[in-house]
Amino acid sequence: MKVRVLGCSGAIAKDCRTTSFLIDGDVLIDAGTGVGDLTLTEMAGIEHGLLSQAHLDHSAALPLMVDAVASRRTTPLQIHALAGPIAALKTHVFN
Specify the pLDDT at position 11: 84
Specify the pLDDT at position 31: 97
Please give the distance of CA 92 from its chain centroid, rounded to a whole number: 16
Specify the pLDDT at position 61: 96
Specify the pLDDT at position 79: 96
| DSSP β-bridge partners for residue 50 | 29, 80
Residues of the chain with pLDDT under 70: none
Specify the pLDDT at position 12: 85
Cα separation of 45 and 59, whole Å? 18
The amino acid at residue 56 is L
Model pTM? 0.92
For 30, left (φ over 0), alpha (ψ -120 to 50), or beta? left
